[in-house]
Structure 1
Amino acid sequence: MKLIRLFSAGIIALSLSLSLMQASVAVADEVDEAVRGLQAEWAIANYKTAEENKEAAFKALVDKAAAVSSKHPERAEPKIWEAIIRAGFAGAMGGLSSMTNAMPQMERGRDLLLEAEKIDATSMNGSVYTTLGSFYYMTPGWPIGFGDDDKAEAYLKKAIELAPDDMDANYFNGDFLLEKKKYKDAIPYFEKVVALPDVEGRPIYSEGRKEEAAAKLEVARKKAR
């Protein structure tokens, strides 16, 4: 009888363990699916939406992203994508709203990225570092914002070291160098973006990012002469 009880207890423990594993996998699948949805909607808002409609599109998408982040605070991916979307929202703002509302979006995005770094700095090909780097060189410095070229360069170097074949890591390293008028140094990064295969499952993003890289590659080549 004792042996039977031990065997039964073992079966119960195994069943509980399997149930917990299944629940964990289900949550992971749910997060991955939600993030893929955010990526797809971001690509449409960023590359396929008329300029006059972008602010509204990104505002709605910020709310969706924030809901995913709030539901899964233990995961880095939703925080990364909420930050990216908030940056898109800030960039789409026009008129007086851009003066009063854009910077809080960037500040919130930066804070989300720093939270994501603590959870998993390698998540999504090191997108934490790519995005932080872009935030720090695109944002004005003090007293308007938190922009810092030294931090931007450090984060972007981390991103390319972590994921040398990542499309965004290469694009933003090139863009930073272009902004700093280091035209010859920027060229290889843009060339690589154009030559990389499309990111699986993200055709709109891949096409849009490559077009941006090709246009900036042309500028870098002309300026480097």
Structure 2
Amino acid sequence: MINFLRCIILISTLVSASVTWAAEPYDELQTEWAKGKYELSGSAQEKFLEQLLSRAEAAKQANPNSAEVFAWSGIVYSTYASVKGGMGALKFAKQAKKDLEKSIELDSSALQGAASTTLGTLYFKVPGWPVAFGNDKKAQQYLDAALALNPKGIDINYWLAEYAASKKDSAKALQYLAIAAAAPARDDRPVADKGRRLEVETLKAQIEAP
């Protein structure tokens, strides 16, 4: 009887441990992206993010039906395109678009609409036709969809603020920034939160500057 109980306890412990140790397939991309985005700069940042692209590809191959993995791959590609800049960045922006669209197709609500947030941002950041796919109407469409899923989120409100600022609508931009600044902290994303809050403060200062 004692041995039986010991066996049950051991099994329970192992099951509990496996649950504790289990990681989401996108965790590495999420963590490493934050490091590359907010803790590095210059050539070191570009090289780090370029290397992260291969891990994004591997994650997609291993998890072909994960909306979260495709969303994070799109975010990584989008960030790398932004860092790289110039005409050479367009192919990476296009891959980001492809991954984000796939994520939305699989589950538009995954990660509280992160794919829609990033896709909307891409649409207002990249050049329009005939150079690239930039489109203000689609930018607003995807950003609004993301806001509906996560109305108090720091990321979506920051990007809506930047979009409004790009349209010279300072009042609306400041409204979104106030919501972003008040967004609750994400316990699993301290680096991203710290970096984004700094971006919120910087954009606010730029808008309010005389």
TM-score range, shorter chain: 0.7 to 0.9
Matching of residue 171 in structure 1 with residue 158 in structure 2: yes
Paired residue for 1:66, among 54, 57, 63? 57
Larger gyration radius, structure 1 or structure 2: 1
- Cα deviation per residue 1:117-139 (whole Å; 9 max; x = unaligned)? 11100000011211110010011
Matching of residue 49 in structure 1 with residue 36 in structure 2: no
Q: Distance in 2 between matches of 1:119 and 1:141?
A: 27
CA contact (8 A) 2:74 2:115 kept: no
User: How many residues are treated as equivalent by the alignment?
Assistant: 192
Aligned to 1:37: 28
Aligned to 1:12: none
The alpha-carbon deviation at position 171 of structure 1 amounts to 0.9
Unpaired runs of 5+ residues, structure 1, are 1-21
Q: Distance in 1 between matches of 2:119 and 2:82?
A: 15
Unpaired runs of 5+ residues, structure 2, are 1-14
Aligned to 1:184: 171
Q: Distance in 1 between matches of 2:128 and 2:189?
A: 33
CA contact (8 A) 1:83 1:113 kept: yes
Whichever residue aligns with residue 36 of structure 2, its letter is A
- Cα deviation per residue 1:38-83 (whole Å; 9 max; x = unaligned)? 1111111111112121111101101111110111011101100011
Q: Distance in 1 between matches of 2:153 and 2:83?
A: 25
Identity %: 29
The alpha-carbon deviation at position 197 of structure 1 amounts to 2.3
Q: Secondary structure at the match of 2:184?
A: coil
Aligned to 1:11: none
Paired residue for 1:121, among 88, 104, 108? 108
Q: Secondary structure at the match of 1:68?
A: helix
CA contact (8 A) 1:184 1:221 kept: no
Q: Secondary structure at the match of 1:201?
A: coil
Paired residue for 1:99, among 68, 87, 90? 87
- TM-score, L = length of structure 2: 0.86
Q: Distance in 2 between matches of 1:186 and 1:50?
A: 27
Task: Kindly report which structure 2 residues correspond to 1:1-225, keeping only aligned pairs within 5 A, or say none.
Answer: 29-30=22-23, 32=24, 34-93=25-84, 98-100=86-88, 102-222=89-209
The alpha-carbon deviation at position 221 of structure 1 amounts to 2.7
Cα RMSD between the aligned structures? 1.8
Q: Distance in 1 between matches of 2:140 and 2:126?
A: 13
Whichever residue aligns with residue 41 of structure 2, its letter is A
Show structure 1 runs of 4+ deviating over 4 A: none
CA contact (8 A) 1:184 1:220 kept: no
